[in-house]
Copies of this chain bind each other. A is one copy, B any other.
């Protein structure tokens, strides 16, 4: 999961960054809404953790401008008790969730996980690709309406390829998706999973091509 954290308190930001990194997520930190805005303009994230109380432009302003632009990025708001206006919930402003400081990091992580999951489940959780249909809710794969049983690792890998069609993925890119930070892995393990996945999806129009020395590339054939 790739997260953008917008928080002006450096100590708190550091703890969060550490915690997320340790748990195998990519997290970037900016200290103001303006910087967040400019990063969001050209980079993709899975979610935004946003402090409301920021120097300059406030978190709420950033949020509402995002929503005005119909940006559906999941946003989790961090607020101090004092920031709460009894009448208006952060949710009314378009946040997907919020947490009142002080909070437990594990709580924050759990909320983020839930949010990412919810988001994935929301939008038409079927990815079609030639004669192959992947349903992320049921974790099932069909080829020509025939159900294929995949193991968890294969599902992860397939999902990655399907969301990165026609893009080069290095073995490390793949491994980073399959393994948590700190977990050891060998290139061969990735190859093995790939072999198994290929065997399962043979007969589909999805081809995972090897680019020798570089990585892999999935595309639809015919």
Task: Please give the distance in Å from A129's CB to the nearest CB on chain B.
Answer: 17
CA of A87 to CA of B37 in the docked complex: distance in angstroms? Answer: 11
Q: Chain B residues with Cβ under 8 A from A92's Cβ? A: 65, 68-69
Cβ-defined partner of A137 (8 Å) among B37, B56, B99, B168: B168
CA of A137 to CA of B170 in the docked complex: distance in angstroms? Answer: 11
Chain B residue at minimum C-beta to C-beta distance from A77: B41
Q: Chain B residues with Cβ under 8 A from A57's Cβ? A: 86-87
Q: Is A202 an interface residue when CB atoms closer than 8 A count as contact?
A: no
A: contact size bracket: 35 or more
Task: Please give the distance in Å from A75's CB to the nearest CB on chain B.
Answer: 11
Given contacts A92-B65, A100-B38, A115-B42, contact A166 B138 (CB under 8 A): yes
A65 lies within 8 A of B42 (CB): no
CA of A98 to CA of B41 in the docked complex: distance in angstroms? Answer: 8
Chain B residue at minimum C-beta to C-beta distance from A151: B213
Task: Please give the distance in Å from A137's CB to the nearest CB on chain B.
Answer: 6
Q: Chain B residues with Cβ under 8 A from A166's Cβ? A: 138
A interface vs B, CB < 8 Å? 34, 37-38, 41-42, 56-57, 61, 65, 68-69, 84, 86-89, 91-92, 96-100, 111, 114-115, 137-139, 151-152, 155, 166-168, 211-214, 217
List 7 tightest A-B contacts by C-beta distance, closest first.
A152-B213, A41-B97, A57-B86, A37-B89, A138-B168, A42-B97, A65-B89
